[in-house]
Amino acid sequence: MTIVGWIQIALYCAMVLALVKPLGFYMTQVFTGERTFLSPVLRPVERGLYRLAGIAETQQQHWLAYTVAMLLFHVGGFVILYAILRLQAVLPFNPAEQGPVAPDLAFNTTASFLTNTNWQNYGGESTMSYLVQMLGLTHQNFLSAASGIALAVAVIRGFARASTRTIGSFWVDLTRATLYLLLPICILYTLYLVWSGIPQTLGASIDATTLEGAKQTIAVGPVASQVAIKMLGTNGGGFFNANAAHPFENPTALCNFVQMISIFAIGAALTNVFGRMVGDQRQGWALLAAMGLLFLVGVAVCYGAEAAGNPLLHAQGIAGGNMEGKEVRFGIAASALFAVITTAASCGAVNAMHDSFTALGGLVPLVNIQLGEVIVGGVGAGLYGILIFVVIAVFVAGLMVGRTPEYLGKKIEAKEVKMAMLGILILPLMMLGWTAVAVVMPSAVAATNNPGPHGFSEILYAYTSATGNNGSAFAGLSANTLFYNVTLASAMLVGRFFVKIPVLAIAGSLAAKKTLPVSAGTFPTHGGLFVGLLVGVILIVGGLTFFPSLALGPIVEHLATVGGQTFSSN
């Protein structure tokens, strides 16, 4: 590790923190219906969209109606995207004449982009036409991100409101998230990316002759617009197979830094929105402090492991950090930081190959996803993910003192705890359940490119990434098979919607409750004690659930590497 590396990390954290309050203030204005500086331009457009769709802007929804609207919206999106993928060959803007996407891959890809996962069992430049990239994938990137933000705002209302049956309107929240937040930022962001050197064109691929005289086809396309929303919306789906390691997606160190900031920007700011809407910004800062503490520990471990390098190479007299699978443009510090950010935020974009990380370096991204989007998380999903653990934390605190648990003046009772546990337990069911199935199937095991514990980690990471709606991969798993396409898609859908529904049920239940006055026995939830309790609950639940699987993968791989043991496929 170097001083320069830590300066990069410190500067990144400072920039994200600087954005929290202004962006949180703006988002609060948007979702409470207040006038913003964009209202003179966008308010008439917003009204026009409501009239066109037949939506009554002032009509609020019960949590169940909100949930049904959200599910129907995604069903429609699934049908449209699947049709676009299957009909790709007959649709326009297909200069490479790409054929129809195979049914199982189309199913996997549709589920992936619908759930904000963006797991890609294909190379974008060699599989998808420009129309599919724009109308199908980039379009869905906006909608899946907006849906996550809308649900986060609905959940905040559940905690903020009292004695009411409504938590807002899904259609209004979705429209405002897209129109006032994602679109304006992405327009400016795209212009910056084009200035940085990222292509934005409908022209065909370019044929070039190398210095050796060989012919090379250089893929281009409408890249910048997809990169902007994939980062800001924590989607992660790359236009190119190499994702953010490709020079046409991430050309410079400055561009890499800006992309990292954009991944965390909305998720971090939503904690401030939470504090503002519940009437106490300290509550939002407490949530962000818990997220930040877990994030910094992950960065320290990952950066330390990658900077230390591979013990097997050290034994051969080769000193230095682990540069395998990393871009020399970014180096170890920026690559490790990017890996922790993208898995903490369930983004899925990568600027280095996680499969080439050291055992401990690869352990951190895996654990980040397994903790359930509580370290900033995906836009929206991170906030309601950590609020699930807040419910469990205050319940544990209530058990310790023999008092009915409360949070923000609301009693946390059996219904809320049951829904929170359902949201937590559904993740390991998919992550560990499908991993267990895959490792006993010879055909599924044969898809791994590494034997021993690293091969197990590849499978575990795949189902962890899919269920956690992250989308990154260890890149050593050949997952474009019928089995993996179907099972990974099921993990994505369950991991997304079987968490959303319990969270909305919690929001509806809390919104209907009365707010109790603060008393001498009220547990303060804005100080260091609560932050420590929350972090402890997250780590204990995660540790008890996932440690056995981690012991079979990255942990035993690290111990074997230190002991000089290698694994051969022969």
Q: What is the per-residue pLDDT across 458-476, written as a single tens digit (0 to 9) for each?
A: 999 999 999 988 888 887 7
Backbone angles phi, psi at 49, to 5 degrees: -65, -40
Q: Where are the beta strands (DSSP E) in 109-258?
A: 206-209, 215-218
> Is the CB of residue 203 less than 8 Å from the CB of residue 93?
no
pLDDT for position 569:
60
Query: Could you give the 3-state DSSP secondary structure of residue 392?
Result: helix
Residue 311 banded pLDDT, cuts 50, 70, 90? confident
pLDDT for position 523:
82
> Beta 410-411 vs 406-407: how paired, if at all?
antiparallel
pLDDT for position 61:
93
> Is the CB of residue 256 less than 8 Å from the CB of residue 330?
yes
Other CB atoms within 10 A of residue 460 CB: 27
Contacts of 566 (CB under 8 A, 6+ apart): 312, 560
Which among 516, 279, 520 is positioned nearest to 410, based on CA atoms? 516
Q: How far apart are CA 343 and CA 364, in angstroms?
A: 9
Is the pLDDT at 71 greater than 60? The verdict is yes
Q: How far apart are CA 532 and CA 12, in angstroms?
A: 24
Is the pLDDT at 404 greater than 80? The verdict is no
pLDDT for position 236:
84
User: For 410-440, how does the pLDDT look when each residue is reduced to its tens digit (9 = 90+)?
Assistant: 898 889 999 999 989 999 999 999 999 999 9
pLDDT for position 560:
87
pLDDT mean over 9-19: 95
Is the pLDDT at 570 greater than 60? The verdict is no
Per-chain mean pLDDT for the chain? 90
| Residue type, position 554, single letter | P
pLDDT mean over 299-304: 93
Is the pLDDT at 565 greater than 90? The verdict is no
% the chain with pLDDT above 90: 60
pLDDT for position 392:
92
Which among 61, 62, 60, 63 is positioned nearest to 505, based on CA atoms? 63
Q: How far apart are CA 540 and CA 72, in angstroms?
A: 36
**Count of CA atoms in the C-beta half-sphere (13 A) of 283:** 22
Question: Of 247-261, 334-348, 409-423, 512-526, which range is least confident?
Answer: 512-526
Which among 288, 282, 249 is positioned nearest to 269, based on CA atoms? 288
Is the pLDDT at 567 greater than 80? The verdict is no
pLDDT mean over 285-289: 94
Is the pLDDT at 520 greater than 80? The verdict is no
pLDDT for position 124:
78
Query: Could you give the 3-state DSSP secondary structure of residue 410?
Result: strand
Query: Could you give the 3-state DSSP secondary structure of residue 282?
Result: helix
Residue 275 banded pLDDT, cuts 50, 70, 90? very high
Distance of CA 372 to the CA centre of its chain: 10
Contacts of 199 (CB under 8 A, 6+ apart): 220, 221, 222, 223, 224, 248
Q: How far apart are CA 177 and CA 330, in angstroms?
A: 33
pLDDT mean over 274-288: 94
Q: How far apart are CA 63 and CA 157, in angstroms?
A: 11
Chain length of the chain: 570
> Is the CB of residue 284 less than 8 Å from the CB of residue 347?
no
Which among 420, 429, 386 is positioned nearest to 502, based on CA atoms? 420
Residue 519 tokens, joined: 């008393």
pTM: 0.93
pLDDT mean over 313-342: 87
> Is the CB of residue 249 less than 8 Å from the CB of residue 133?
no
**Count of CA atoms in the C-beta half-sphere (13 A) of 330:** 33
Q: Look at the block and give the residue holding tokens 């079979």.
A: 552
Query: Could you give the 3-state DSSP secondary structure of residue 11?
Result: helix
pLDDT for position 524:
86
Q: What angle do CA 434, 436, 437 make, to 5 degrees?
A: 65
Residue 87 banded pLDDT, cuts 50, 70, 90? very high
Distance set, CA 249 to CA 122, 217, 243, 559 (Å): 17, 17, 7, 36
> Is the CB of residue 335 less than 8 Å from the CB of residue 351?
yes
Residue 97 banded pLDDT, cuts 50, 70, 90? confident
Residue 397 banded pLDDT, cuts 50, 70, 90? confident
Question: Of 153-157, 284-288, 471-475, which range is least confident?
Answer: 471-475
